[in-house]
Structure 1
């Protein structure tokens, strides 16, 4: 079986932690800072950090529209915390992001820092029952998943085509819409690699077309 070729958006945030997690799951990984570096990738992680800082750093080279285009051509994308915000179709408190491109495509509505400030950060354990329902071939999902929430976004709405894979206090915290996966928290900050393994397996089913043109702006299917 071919080794998945994955990238981690390398502008800001928990980049090295995601690289190590994906490598531990058997993927070949590189950081991505320019549109040309998306070429040949089966999947991309958009890490946690600060969504406004990431959008501003990406703007001069048109990186986020290029990610959107590559996803539209078949590349899988996994957004965590700030990455989830950049994937969301609707951000209710997006004033700080106005004038900057986001990736979009994930039919959810989110609120930035919805779980509170840095001082309100917390850890908890999540049931992954929805994850096994999304992929019956997935194994090792019976144990609770440790989750680290740091200035995390709250998902306030999910579209009909979005699968909720885990919840916290009644709100979705892991969602999937076809080749897009997103989590409100930071899975890279624990030793549990199940979400990263799940994403790696997703990428095996989401090989981009050889004719993909990352610079083209397209709407995700």
Structure 2
């Protein structure tokens, strides 16, 4: 099936780096000259229903969950991710939202959308004053490419894969001096999550890679097998 001529990729606009994501998406879309992309802000179930794919940006995951519930967005988001299997990418707080479990939550816990069979640890690296930038070797970038500079701000990490069926693929790790290596990029089917903030770097490579996966997934949507990655394929996906 040929790629679609028009694709709508929404950015959940409850808080966080919405404008920054849209700016890099616009730059990344020039890699696909035959496709017309639309990048709307998403604040209502009606707006979400028009999207072929979605980014959940950084912010404060507990607040995002509360606001999404008040706006009637929470169940539509779950359906978008877990029933319709549309491509979704969560950055920082977005990764927390897409996890099945989270630790170090506020008292009483928090609601999660789910989709990634992982448990995340919130705020692994401390306060905003302890933010840092690290060179990352990401598994989906071409061999020999320069490292990606990951921006970590009160970032979560994946502390455990909670389902041993091999569906969760680790795509990036970071290691601070004197600490153990932490998982900071994962994918499972249609869901992609990063602890860091590519939208704050000006480096378009992760956005371009993910848009390529969106195009490929929509080209194969009749197969209902999830997201096809740029170099290789997911378990169960036909070549």
TM bucket, shorter chain: 0.7 to 0.9
Is 1:65–1:101's contact at 8 Å kept on the other side of the alignment? Answer: no
Q: 1:141-174 CA deviation, whole Å, 9 max, x = no partner?
A: 7210011000000210124311111110121111
> Would you say how many aligned residue pairs link Structure 1 and Structure 2?
202
Aligned counterpart for 1:195 among listed residues 197, 202, 206:
206
Q: Distance in 2 between matches of 1:73 and 1:203?
A: 14
Query: Paired residue for 1:101?
Result: 111
Aligned counterpart for 1:91 among listed residues 99, 102, 107:
102
RMSD: 2.0
TM-score normalized with structure 2 length = 0.79
Residues 1:44 and 1:196: Cα distance change in structure 2 (over 3 Å): same
**Partner SS, residue 95 of structure 1:** coil
State the structure with more CA Rg. Answer: 2
Q: Distance in 2 between matches of 1:16 and 1:141?
A: 31
TM-score normalized with structure 1 length = 0.85
Say which structure, 1 or 2, has more relative contact order (CA 8 Å, 6+ apart): 1
Aligned counterpart for 1:166 among listed residues 165, 172, 187:
172
Is 1:55–1:97's contact at 8 Å kept on the other side of the alignment? Answer: no
Q: Distance in 2 between matches of 1:143 and 1:81?
A: 22
Which stretch shifts more, 181-190 or 86-95? 86-95
Q: Distance in 2 between matches of 1:184 and 1:97?
A: 23
Query: Paired residue for 1:217?
Result: none
Which stretch shifts more, 58-67 or 148-157? 58-67
Q: Which runs of 5+ in 2 are unaligned?
A: 30-36, 176-180, 223-239
Q: Distance in 1 between matches of 2:79 and 2:107?
A: 24
Q: Which runs of 5+ in 1 are unaligned?
A: 133-138, 211-221
